[in-house]
Structure 1
């Protein structure tokens, strides 16, 4: 693993940031064998070497192919292998078939990366391409988080319980009694304010009307979730949404993903479950049921953002460093594998479910061309999460950032923060 910090690509040093982001992806793959990097544990996840190659395909397809004079594709067959969901870019292998790619090898995928990284050097100084380059950097950082959560799920399938990282790090301190951030309600401005990079789904900025509410100052912990289990939370239909109750029974869900007795599977293998750490790897259905059991509710994404204004990541970064918040950019300097350990503020540790459907904001328009498929076409049937996780790159934990998953998904570092009416 590397030493030092990944360049902050929002600072304007594009070449340094590009080199840092590209290098980190490969360093995250270093602990893995070719076999580790090839397996795909479920359709929601992708193999490590696919992540490495897909992020490279992105640069090749949207920048080099159209803007680098004399550039030829590294391999004309590979766009079919490493396109994800861009219909405008033609046919591709089925998503679940990514794990069948025994070839190309991990080594060949890394060679592809080096070829494209070198070719990109001629484009990094072009101002007309700066927005697309910033999108490419953010896209690759998203896949770095996915690389970690996907390999965690894959290694979990192995009866030997192999570890990705050799150390787990310190346990969380006991959580204090919940205190509440109160908000008087009224008109709130929601969405990105135009300062710095943002995805298209974070805007346009618009007004919403909020009723008075309060949000908990910390996440729900493992020990609190254990009480929910002990009191029959998974067997009380009155607590669950109808779809959630059907899911619990069909899938025989009795605990968060990766829990087994008093242990939990982590990126450092099986560990004794930390009772004071924030609970994670839960679905929207579970989060909503817990909130009902606790006599509270989940916040809306607008309530969450209204409280988060003033707690944005630029000011909160040092606290998160100390508490393993947004630390993917300093993974090599961490004292253990990324996992939630408890932190103050709204950012870091776990993505937090809201009760808001993932829908376009007023006046939202999908961008022209293939990059318009990045976010807009997924605005159906999913729920919004806020706040970033222990595996999220710095710069992605901002008040307006909108993550989104289907209600049953829980392989990401997902948790919850309670809200209530006042």
Structure 2
């Protein structure tokens, strides 16, 4: 049976896939970053299953490269033994033992054996950002050990919705900096070969053709965003839905895809897009909005425009305000701001700090109270510098405040500590 990914054209996201391969074939780790629904999972599955595409990019080197795909949403637990078994399964090994030390040793031996045979092993970690704050430090140490044994014949591709330097704890980024620094490949929203292939696949399913005008209108509305383009094209052929924003925003599938994008944004990013949707100018837009290709310059006057026009209409008509309360949801065990799940944007330390603040609203919390909550393993409070706390507060404000420079939730009480306003 032919694997679906093998049907994709060789020029599918050609520039971005080339960048990824340029990193990994020389043993460098890499991040594939894009907004939800833009295609990072597809890119990883192509690398894992489309040998024709790899041959196109790599030529005679292709047979010596082995990709192992891992969907981190399939990880049942986050202890060392379960993680080691999960990684071994990706190499088609099923050990019966449960001792984490022995399992890690087996994993190291397996990767070393492949490397010594002349193969380059590349782990593809899909949905990594959604699970990174539950992974133990030993996970990163295992990757470092594998890299040490296999040298330049082992690397990892992390699929994430934003740069992992914004998500992992400072200690992780410091001790494993070469995993994360200057290695992000951002996927653009629109890729012509990707959209053309998508249209062809949908037409085959429905045994009907989209007109040139319908294709043009769909791209004009969705900006070529993969999930939205697929959804709108299917609605066009299946339900003959009118290709105007009002009709589309009344469809649950469309609004669900857009909600995914909205909810993954930080408060500051939401605030900027909220203002831009109402045609306020942004003097200094959040740089991540540009990197993620959600906004771009529309003319030489430095005016910004939405890359996905229906996203603008969604915010304009479905988001009445962004001044929402931050709270801990006891049922889901998540920190939220309105409908947005903030927990997914936080490192483990940031989540512990914010949860402690939420548990003590409108009360000034001192440094000595904060440290044992955020750094529970620390025996001496003096080991944590004021700069470390200040840096964490700075990062946290960027994620939860509409205007980080003028915070409304995490307030500094000079000479005393921090106070939280929901």
TM-score, normalized by length of structure 2?
0.25
Pair member with larger Rg: 2
TM-score, normalized by length of structure 1?
0.25
> Which protein is richer in helix relative to its size?
2
Q: RCO higher in 1 or 2 (8 Å CA, sep ≥ 6)?
A: 1
